[in-house]
Amino acid sequence: MEIGQLQQKIGARVRTLRESKGISQQNLAAICNFEKANLSRLEAGRTNPTVSTLYKISQALEIPLSDIVDIDD
């Protein structure tokens, strides 16, 4: 799997998990102290998130970090 594909899958996973919790992009970005535009780029797979970024998101969504990176090839 190429890096771009991985970024897209992780972004889609973050979006799915966020939506399943009923949290808007704006609210999740605020909780994580991110700009909404940055979260939007992450969910669109246009950025390579750091582990610390994914950890902040997992904490805000009250899920294990492994749930975010649990993607199928």
Instruction: Give CA–CA dist 63/48, Å, rounded.
Output: 20
Q: Does 46 map to a domain?
A: yes
Q: Does 72 map to a domain?
A: no
- Which tens digit of pLDDT belongs to each residue from 38-48? 999 999 999 99
CATH of the domain at 41: 1.10.260.40
Q: Tell me which residue range forms the domain holding 41.
A: 3-66
Q: Does 73 map to a domain?
A: no
- Which tens digit of pLDDT belongs to each residue from 3-61? 899 999 999 999 999 999 999 999 999 999 999 999 999 999 999 999 999 999 999 99
**Nearest alpha carbon to residue 20 among 51, 63, 49, 50:** 63
How many structural domains is the chain composed of?
1
Structure tokens that stand for 44 in this block:
């669109």
Instruction: Give CA–CA dist 28/38, Å, rounded.
Output: 11
Residue 63 DSSP label: S
